[in-house]
Amino acid sequence: MLEVQNLVKAYGDLRVLDNVSARIENGRILVIIGLNGSGKSTLLKVITGILPCDNGCVRIDGQDVTSLEPEDRKIGYVPQSTALFNHLTVRENIIYSQKNGRGSPDGFEAVVSMLNLRGYLSKKPKELSGGYRARVALARALYSQPSVMLLDEPLTEIDHAKKEQMLPEFKQVLHQLNIPVLYITHDPREAELIGDAFAVMYDGKLKTIGTTEEAFEIIRAQVLAGAGIA
Protein backbone atom coordinates (compact mmCIF):
# COMPACT_ATOMS: atom_id res chain seq x y z
CA MET A 1 0.00 0.00 0.00
CA LEU A 2 1.14 3.55 -0.76
CA GLU A 3 0.00 6.39 1.50
CA VAL A 4 0.86 10.07 1.31
CA GLN A 5 -0.38 12.33 4.08
CA ASN A 6 -0.56 16.13 4.09
CA LEU A 7 2.39 16.60 1.74
CA VAL A 8 3.57 20.19 1.37
CA LYS A 9 6.17 21.44 -1.10
CA ALA A 10 6.67 25.16 -1.51
CA TYR A 11 8.99 27.46 -3.40
CA GLY A 12 8.81 30.76 -1.57
CA ASP A 13 5.16 31.73 -1.34
CA LEU A 14 4.12 29.24 -4.04
CA ARG A 15 2.73 25.99 -2.64
CA VAL A 16 3.21 23.44 -5.42
CA LEU A 17 1.81 20.74 -3.12
CA ASP A 18 -0.76 21.98 -0.63
CA ASN A 19 -1.54 19.29 1.99
CA VAL A 20 -1.85 16.49 -0.56
CA SER A 21 -3.09 13.13 0.74
CA ALA A 22 -3.82 9.87 -1.10
CA ARG A 23 -3.98 6.12 -0.47
CA ILE A 24 -3.51 3.37 -3.06
CA GLU A 25 -4.11 -0.28 -2.24
CA ASN A 26 -2.06 -3.11 -3.73
CA GLY A 27 -3.21 -4.04 -7.22
CA ARG A 28 -4.90 -0.69 -7.88
CA ILE A 29 -4.00 2.00 -10.41
CA LEU A 30 -4.77 5.56 -9.33
CA VAL A 31 -4.62 8.07 -12.16
CA ILE A 32 -4.02 11.73 -11.36
CA ILE A 33 -5.24 14.08 -14.07
CA GLY A 34 -4.17 17.69 -14.29
CA LEU A 35 -2.80 20.45 -16.47
CA ASN A 36 0.92 21.10 -16.85
CA GLY A 37 2.15 22.97 -13.78
CA SER A 38 -0.58 21.65 -11.48
CA GLY A 39 1.92 19.80 -9.25
CA LYS A 40 1.60 16.25 -10.62
CA SER A 41 5.27 15.66 -11.40
CA THR A 42 6.35 17.35 -8.16
CA LEU A 43 4.19 14.89 -6.24
CA LEU A 44 5.90 11.92 -7.90
CA LYS A 45 9.35 13.37 -7.23
CA VAL A 46 8.51 13.84 -3.56
CA ILE A 47 7.23 10.26 -3.31
CA THR A 48 10.42 8.92 -4.91
CA GLY A 49 12.61 11.08 -2.69
CA ILE A 50 14.12 13.03 -5.59
CA LEU A 51 12.65 16.14 -3.95
CA PRO A 52 12.31 16.59 -0.18
CA CYS A 53 8.90 17.65 1.14
CA ASP A 54 8.47 20.55 3.54
CA ASN A 55 5.83 18.72 5.57
CA GLY A 56 3.85 15.47 5.59
CA CYS A 57 4.92 11.88 5.11
CA VAL A 58 5.13 9.03 2.60
CA ARG A 59 4.42 5.44 3.75
CA ILE A 60 4.94 2.23 1.81
CA ASP A 61 3.39 -0.91 3.30
CA GLY A 62 3.04 0.95 6.58
CA GLN A 63 6.70 2.06 6.75
CA ASP A 64 7.48 5.77 6.87
CA VAL A 65 10.00 6.28 4.04
CA THR A 66 9.93 10.09 4.03
CA SER A 67 13.53 10.40 5.19
CA LEU A 68 14.94 7.53 3.09
CA GLU A 69 17.11 8.04 0.02
CA PRO A 70 15.44 7.29 -3.35
CA GLU A 71 17.38 4.05 -3.86
CA ASP A 72 16.15 2.74 -0.48
CA ARG A 73 12.42 3.20 -1.16
CA LYS A 74 11.97 0.32 -3.67
CA ILE A 75 9.98 2.53 -6.05
CA GLY A 76 9.79 1.96 -9.79
CA TYR A 77 9.71 5.31 -11.58
CA VAL A 78 9.08 5.97 -15.28
CA PRO A 79 9.56 9.67 -16.16
CA GLN A 80 8.08 11.51 -19.13
CA SER A 81 11.20 11.28 -21.27
CA THR A 82 11.80 7.52 -20.58
CA ALA A 83 15.41 8.51 -19.65
CA LEU A 84 16.97 5.45 -21.29
CA PHE A 85 20.74 5.22 -21.65
CA ASN A 86 21.42 5.56 -25.37
CA HIS A 87 24.87 3.95 -25.17
CA LEU A 88 23.41 0.77 -23.64
CA THR A 89 21.41 -1.99 -25.30
CA VAL A 90 17.82 -2.74 -24.38
CA ARG A 91 19.04 -5.67 -22.25
CA GLU A 92 21.57 -3.46 -20.44
CA ASN A 93 18.97 -0.76 -19.83
CA ILE A 94 16.51 -3.24 -18.35
CA ILE A 95 19.00 -4.79 -15.90
CA TYR A 96 20.55 -1.46 -14.88
CA SER A 97 19.16 -1.73 -11.33
CA GLN A 98 21.53 -4.66 -10.72
CA LYS A 99 24.10 -1.98 -9.91
CA ASN A 100 22.06 -1.32 -6.76
CA GLY A 101 21.51 -4.99 -6.01
CA ARG A 102 17.96 -5.12 -7.34
CA GLY A 103 16.48 -7.53 -9.89
CA SER A 104 16.97 -11.19 -10.80
CA PRO A 105 17.38 -13.41 -13.90
CA ASP A 106 13.86 -14.76 -13.38
CA GLY A 107 12.56 -11.21 -13.19
CA PHE A 108 14.30 -10.36 -16.44
CA GLU A 109 12.64 -13.21 -18.30
CA ALA A 110 9.26 -12.24 -16.87
CA VAL A 111 9.35 -8.56 -17.89
CA VAL A 112 10.78 -9.31 -21.33
CA SER A 113 7.96 -11.79 -21.93
CA MET A 114 5.22 -9.51 -20.53
CA LEU A 115 6.28 -6.58 -22.71
CA ASN A 116 7.20 -8.53 -25.87
CA LEU A 117 10.81 -7.33 -25.96
CA ARG A 118 12.54 -10.60 -26.85
CA GLY A 119 13.48 -9.52 -30.37
CA TYR A 120 14.84 -6.11 -29.32
CA LEU A 121 17.32 -6.91 -26.55
CA SER A 122 20.46 -6.18 -28.59
CA LYS A 123 19.17 -2.90 -30.02
CA LYS A 124 19.98 0.60 -28.73
CA PRO A 125 17.15 2.98 -27.72
CA LYS A 126 17.67 5.22 -30.76
CA GLU A 127 16.83 2.23 -32.97
CA LEU A 128 13.39 1.83 -31.37
CA SER A 129 10.04 3.49 -31.96
CA GLY A 130 8.53 5.66 -29.24
CA GLY A 131 6.23 2.79 -28.26
CA TYR A 132 9.09 0.37 -27.74
CA ARG A 133 11.15 2.93 -25.83
CA ALA A 134 8.18 3.23 -23.48
CA ARG A 135 8.09 -0.55 -23.11
CA VAL A 136 11.79 -0.65 -22.25
CA ALA A 137 11.40 2.12 -19.66
CA LEU A 138 8.55 0.20 -18.04
CA ALA A 139 10.54 -3.06 -18.19
CA ARG A 140 13.50 -1.39 -16.47
CA ALA A 141 11.25 -0.15 -13.66
CA LEU A 142 9.57 -3.56 -13.29
CA TYR A 143 12.88 -5.44 -13.27
CA SER A 144 13.93 -3.58 -10.11
CA GLN A 145 11.14 -5.46 -8.26
CA PRO A 146 9.45 -2.32 -6.88
CA SER A 147 6.98 -2.12 -4.02
CA VAL A 148 5.31 0.86 -5.73
CA MET A 149 5.17 1.95 -9.37
CA LEU A 150 5.03 5.61 -10.45
CA LEU A 151 4.50 6.60 -14.09
CA ASP A 152 4.74 10.26 -15.15
CA GLU A 153 3.02 10.56 -18.54
CA PRO A 154 5.08 7.63 -19.88
CA LEU A 155 3.46 7.65 -23.33
CA THR A 156 4.09 11.27 -24.32
CA GLU A 157 6.12 10.13 -27.34
CA ILE A 158 3.27 7.94 -28.61
CA ASP A 159 0.58 9.03 -31.05
CA HIS A 160 -3.08 8.79 -30.04
CA ALA A 161 -3.90 5.66 -32.06
CA LYS A 162 -0.92 3.76 -30.64
CA LYS A 163 -1.84 4.82 -27.09
CA GLU A 164 -5.33 3.37 -27.52
CA GLN A 165 -3.69 0.06 -28.42
CA MET A 166 -0.97 0.07 -25.73
CA LEU A 167 -2.85 1.29 -22.66
CA PRO A 168 -5.02 -1.82 -22.07
CA GLU A 169 -1.88 -3.95 -22.43
CA PHE A 170 0.03 -1.77 -19.95
CA LYS A 171 -2.93 -1.97 -17.54
CA GLN A 172 -2.86 -5.76 -17.66
CA VAL A 173 0.90 -5.83 -17.01
CA LEU A 174 0.59 -3.41 -14.08
CA HIS A 175 -2.26 -5.40 -12.52
CA GLN A 176 -0.09 -8.54 -12.58
CA LEU A 177 2.35 -6.84 -10.19
CA ASN A 178 -0.25 -6.54 -7.40
CA ILE A 179 1.42 -3.35 -6.10
CA PRO A 180 0.12 0.24 -5.84
CA VAL A 181 0.45 2.17 -9.11
CA LEU A 182 0.27 5.95 -9.50
CA TYR A 183 -0.15 7.11 -13.10
CA ILE A 184 0.04 10.76 -14.16
CA THR A 185 -1.59 12.24 -17.26
CA HIS A 186 -3.27 15.38 -18.55
CA ASP A 187 -5.49 13.35 -20.90
CA PRO A 188 -8.85 12.13 -19.48
CA ARG A 189 -9.17 9.51 -22.24
CA GLU A 190 -5.76 8.06 -21.37
CA ALA A 191 -6.81 8.03 -17.72
CA GLU A 192 -10.01 6.16 -18.58
CA LEU A 193 -8.10 3.41 -20.39
CA ILE A 194 -5.48 2.77 -17.70
CA GLY A 195 -7.05 3.66 -14.34
CA ASP A 196 -9.02 1.90 -11.62
CA ALA A 197 -9.54 5.11 -9.63
CA PHE A 198 -9.13 8.79 -10.43
CA ALA A 199 -8.13 12.08 -8.87
CA VAL A 200 -7.64 15.56 -10.26
CA MET A 201 -4.87 17.97 -9.31
CA TYR A 202 -5.14 21.75 -9.47
CA ASP A 203 -3.57 24.63 -7.56
CA GLY A 204 -1.43 22.12 -5.64
CA LYS A 205 -4.47 20.28 -4.26
CA LEU A 206 -5.62 16.73 -4.95
CA LYS A 207 -9.31 15.86 -5.20
CA THR A 208 -10.64 12.31 -5.56
CA ILE A 209 -13.24 11.98 -8.32
CA GLY A 210 -15.48 9.24 -9.62
CA THR A 211 -15.09 9.66 -13.37
CA THR A 212 -12.75 11.24 -15.89
CA GLU A 213 -15.60 13.49 -16.99
CA GLU A 214 -15.49 15.17 -13.56
CA ALA A 215 -11.78 15.83 -14.09
CA PHE A 216 -12.49 17.45 -17.45
CA GLU A 217 -15.08 19.76 -15.90
CA ILE A 218 -12.77 20.79 -13.07
CA ILE A 219 -9.88 21.43 -15.45
CA ARG A 220 -12.10 23.34 -17.84
CA ALA A 221 -13.29 25.55 -14.97
CA GLN A 222 -9.67 26.21 -13.97
CA VAL A 223 -8.71 27.16 -17.54
CA LEU A 224 -11.67 29.53 -17.86
CA ALA A 225 -10.94 31.09 -14.46
CA GLY A 226 -7.30 31.59 -15.46
CA ALA A 227 -8.43 33.32 -18.62
CA GLY A 228 -10.74 35.57 -16.63
CA ILE A 229 -13.85 34.05 -18.26
CA ALA A 230 -15.41 32.36 -15.25
Q: What is the 3-state secondary structure (H, E, C) of the chain?
A: CEEEEEEEEEECCEEEEEEEEEEECCCCEEEEECCCCCCHHHHHHHHHCCCCCCEEEEEECCEECCCCCHHHCCEEEECCCCCCCCCCCHHHHHHHHHHHCCCCHHHHHHHHHHCCCHHHCCCCHHHCCHHHHHHHHHHHHHHCCCCEEEEECCCCCCCHHHHHHHHHHHHHHHHHHCCCEEEEECCHHHHHHHCCEEEEEECCEEEEECCHHHHHHHHHHHHHHHCCCC
Residue 181 β-bridge partners: 29, 149
Angle among Cα 108, 114, 118 to the nearest 5 degrees reads 65
Identify the band that residue 230 occupies on the pLDDT scale cut at 50, 70 and 90.
Answer: very low
* Predicted pLDDT at 226: 62
Residue 205 has pLDDT above 80, yes or no: yes
- Buried residues in 6-36 as b, exposed as e (16+ CB within 10 A): ebbbeeeeebbbbebebebeeebbbbbbbee
- CATH code of 1-74+148-230, in short, is 3.40.50.300
Enumerate the domain spans of the chain. Answer: 1-74+148-230, 82-146
* Predicted pLDDT at 104: 78
Of residues 28 and 160, more confidence is placed in: 28
- Calculate mean pLDDT across residues 185-198: 91
Distance, in Å, from the CA atom of 34 to the CA atom of 205, rounded to the nearest integer, reads 10
* CA 100 to chain CA centroid, nearest Å: 21
Residue 73 has pLDDT above 50, yes or no: yes
pLDDT tens column, 13-72:
999 999 999 999 999 999 999 888 889 999 999 999 999 999 999 999 999 999 999 989
- Calculate mean pLDDT across residues 113-124: 93
| Mean pLDDT over each residue of the chain, to the nearest integer | 90
Distance, in Å, from the CA atom of 86 to the CA atom of 92, rounded to the nearest integer, reads 10
Distance, in Å, from the CA atom of 58 to the CA atom of 60, rounded to the nearest integer, reads 7
- Calculate mean pLDDT across residues 202-208: 91
